[in-house]
Amino acid sequence: MLKVKVCFLFLLIACLSMQLMSCQENPFIQGEIMYENFCATCHMEDGKGLKGLIPPLANSDWLKNNQDILACSIRKGINDPIVVNGKTYELPMAGVTALTEFELANVINYINQAWGNDYGFVQINEVRDQLDACNARD
């Protein structure tokens, strides 16, 4: 009987730790799905972009340093040339308008943490404030 119990306990621990591990691997499932649907054709699944045409999001200093305008940049697009990791990119990015505030927050959290990035987290209300600010500017 004891043997069965120990076995069961062992299984339980194994299951739990597996779940934890998969949790750590990807805490932003919705963000990842949004990314694949709305961003990956350009920025690619691995976040590396495309040569001199589309800038990388993986290890991007622009992404790191422009957290305060990120929600607006994604929603409204980026029209002026920008410099990412020392390289100038000129192709404008059209605004991705299909995402709700909630989905925007999820996709931002995803790109901030994917591919070894570690650029923090946003809350939905921060995204809302950002959008209000840029909506007011327009």
Partner 1 sequence: MLNPFYKQMDIINMNKIFVLFTGLSLLSVWACDSQNISKEKLPIIGNRDVVDGDSIYHTVRDFKFINQDSVIITPETFKDKAYVVDYFFTSCPTICPKVKQQEIKVADHFKDEERLKFLSVSIDTKYDTIQRLKWYAEKLEIDPNQWHLVTGDEDLIYDIAGDFFHSAIKNDDAPGGYDHDGLLILVDKNRHIRAFCNGLEPEEVDEFILDVEQLLAQEY
89 binds ligand HEC per the rule CB under 6 A: yes
The window from 13-21, 50-58, 119-127, 128-136 that contacts ligand HEC (CB under 6 A) reads 50-58
Give CA–CA dist 92/13, Å, rounded.
50
Nearer to partner 1, 50 or 133 (CB): 50
Distances (CA, A) of 126 to 78, 95, 121, 131, 132: 20, 19, 10, 9, 10
Q: From the list partner 1, ligand HEC, none, pick the one residue 124 interacts with, judged by a Cβ distance below 5 to 8 Å according to partner type.
A: none
Which has the closest alpha carbon to 63: 134, 130, 118, 132? Answer: 118
Using the rule CB under 6 A, is 74 a contact of ligand HEC? yes
Contacting residues toward ligand HEC, per CB under 6 A: 38-39, 41-43, 54-57, 60, 62-63, 74, 78, 80-82, 84, 89-94, 96, 107, 111
